[in-house]
Amino acid sequence: MNTISNIGEYLPFLIPIIIIELVLMVTALIHVLRHDNYKILNRPVWIVIVVFIQIIGPVIYFVFGRSDE
């Protein structure tokens, strides 16, 4: 029961982080699926990175993967 009350204390901090993570992931995933050219790696690898490596994955894609179009 104590764990549930602790989660409630952190919800005001967790909800914005979760929303930011989801927006970043969806934005990066849409970009990966719509474009064919990448600086490094290929589409399936970027999809795995963006989806499974939370907040950092989409940031890595936008910094290193997205080609200059």
Residue 2 scores a pLDDT above 70: no
Q: What local confidence, expressed as pLDDT, does residue 60 receive?
A: 92
pLDDT of res. 55: 87
Amino acid at 27: T
Q: Is residue 63 a contact partner of residue 41, using CB atoms and an 8 Å limit?
A: no
pTM: 0.79
Closest CA to 24 of 66, 69, 61: 61
CB atoms within 10 A of CB 57: 22
Domain ranges of the chain: 2-65
